[in-house]
Amino acid sequence: MAAYSSIWQCKRCGSTERYAGGGCKVCQRNRVAAYVAANAEKVKARTKKYKESNPERVKAVKARWVAANSEKVKTWNTRWNEEHPEAVKAIRDRSYAKVKAKRKGT
Ligand SMILES: [Zn+2]
């Protein structure tokens, strides 16, 4: 069985990567990329519409991605903080001001 699946090779691109369902991974990726390239505006509009009508789902997907890539996100954040010290300071000042305003209000 294992030998059979390792022998499989895509007739179109020669890749040996394939989905459990049988489709060639490389060809599928190329198909999607070609479609997106040819229909950029349509894809963008559809993505926007999807995000607008499924905010909870989008949030869940993002949260799941962040959880699965927490190390990557941490690295990005650290790098961003290092590259944008002024922005970091501004954000910090703003949140301090918010806390202060809240305290004054109560
Ligand atoms: Zn292929």
Structural contact between residues 15 and 27, judged by C-beta atoms closer than 8 angstroms: yes
Q: What residues contact residue 93 under an 8 Å CB cut-off, 6+ apart?
A: none
Is residue 36 a contact partner of residue 25, using CB atoms and an 8 Å limit?
A: no
Distance 37 CA to ligand 1 centre (A): 19
88, 78 Cβ separation under 8 angstroms: no
- pLDDT tens per residue, range 43-87: 999 999 999 999 999 999 999 999 999 999 999 999 999 999 999
Domain ranges of the chain: 3-53, 67-105
**How many alpha carbons fall within 13 Å on the CB side of residue 30?**
8
Q: How far is the CA of 84 from the centre of ligand 1 (A)?
A: 43
What is the whole-number distance in angstroms between the Cα of residue 53 and the centre of ligand 1? 34
Alpha carbon distance 43, 50 (integer Å): 10
Q: How far is the CA of 42 from the centre of ligand 1 (A)?
A: 26
Confidence of residue 23 (pLDDT cuts 50, 70, 90): very high
